[in-house]
């Protein structure tokens, strides 16, 4: 793990930027390979994650692990994080000011991990990273060209799929797409000619 990544994690672990610091058991920063090609972004820690300090360890996490296994990958091969690093009380929806306080940690995680493919799980992550109000049902199952040459794939949140076998089938299709996208050759290195920064990209998550 790079020093910069360790410093970022240490900073996040003592964060008091929002009210969730008062009710969390601990900060759930993220887990997995900090050099992964594939990064998942969920919504927020739930009861089990808050207790164990690791994202996606409950029932939704077991489904995520199963879907990964079906495309020949393990949790250790990827990086898993959430939009919010702290559990909202009673698993209520994240509030906008909490997302605004927390999104800088996610942005810096993405910069340092530098994955080729980012997968958003559910509406909150998808709306934040694609900067859209469109719902996940319309956005899922496609590959979006994204920030710094990365590709973004949106899919359902595994907790929603726990309630619907049809959604599990759709997620299996999306995971097959993740696999084929990763199998494509990496994009060529950026041009050495300085390119003017795109203001859209500079205001990532704005
Ligand atoms: N749901 C999420 O979005 N993230 C977790 O870590 C667990 C459940």
Closest CA to 125 of 149, 164, 160: 160
Quick one: average pLDDT of 101-129? 98
Ligand 1 pocket, residue 54 CB under 6 Å: no
Q: Can you give the residue ranges of every domain in the chain?
A: 3-185
pLDDT for 190: 60
Ligand 1 pocket, residue 46 CB under 6 Å: yes
Ligand 1 pocket, residue 56 CB under 6 Å: yes
Closest CA to 20 of 93, 71, 86, 76: 86
Quick one: average pLDDT of 196-202? 47
DSSP 103-169: HHHHHHHHHHH--SEEEEESHHHHHHHHT--S-HHHHTT-EEE-GGG-EEEEE--HHHHTT-HHHHH
With bands split at pLDDT 50, 70 and 90, how would you rate the model's confidence at 189? low
Alpha helices in 53-95 (DSSP H): 59-70
Ligand 1 pocket, residue 32 CB under 6 Å: no
pLDDT for 192: 57
pLDDT tens for each residue of 76-94: 999 999 999 999 999 999 9
With bands split at pLDDT 50, 70 and 90, how would you rate the model's confidence at 206? low
Pick the atom of ligand 1 nearest to 83's CA.
Answer: 3
Ligand 1 pocket, residue 158 CB under 6 Å: no
Residues facing 60 on adjacent strands: none
204 CA from centroid of ligand 1 (Å)? 22
Pick the atom of ligand 1 nearest to 82's CA.
Answer: 4
DSSP state, residue 78: S
Q: Whats the size of the chain, residue-wise?
A: 206
Residue 109 has pLDDT above 50, yes or no: yes
Which residues, 6 or more positions from 38, have their beta carbon under 8 angstroms from its beta carbon? 73, 77, 78, 79, 115, 116, 117, 119, 178, 182
Quick one: average pLDDT of 37-50? 98
Ligand 1 pocket, residue 55 CB under 6 Å: yes
Quick one: average pLDDT of 49-58? 98
Query: What is the value of pTM for the model shown?
Result: 0.93
pLDDT tens for each residue of 149-177: 999 999 999 999 999 999 999 999 999 99
3-185 to CATH, choices 3.30.420.40, 1.10.10.60, 3.30.70.980, 3.40.470.10: 3.40.470.10
């Amino acid at each position: 793990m790079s020093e910069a990544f360790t410093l970022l994690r240490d900073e996040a672990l003592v964060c008091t930027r929002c009210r969730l610091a008062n009710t969390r058991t601990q900060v759930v920063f993220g887990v997995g390979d900090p050099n992964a090609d594939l990064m998942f972004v969920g919504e927020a820690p739930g009861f089990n994650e808050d207790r164990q300090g690791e994202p996606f360890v409950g029932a939704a996490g077991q489904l995520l692990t199963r879907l990964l296994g079906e495309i020949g990958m393990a949790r250790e091969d990827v990086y898993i994080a959430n939009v919010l690093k702290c559990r909202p009380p009673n698993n209520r929806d994240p509030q906008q000011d909490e997302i605004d306080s927390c999104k800088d940690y996610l942005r810096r995680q993405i910069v340092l991990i530098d994955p080729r493919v980012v997968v958003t799980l559910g509406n909150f992550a998808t709306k934040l990273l694609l900067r859209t109000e469109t719902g996940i049902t319309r956005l899922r199952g496609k590959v979006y060209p994204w920030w710094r040459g990365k590709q973004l794939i949106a899919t359902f949140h595994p907790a929603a799929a726990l309630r619907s076998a049809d959604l599990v089938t759709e997620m299996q299709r999306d995971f097959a797409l993740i696999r084929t996208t990763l199998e494509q050759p990496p994009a060529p290195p950026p041009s050495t000619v300085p390119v003017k920064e795109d203001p859209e990209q500079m205001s990532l998550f704005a």
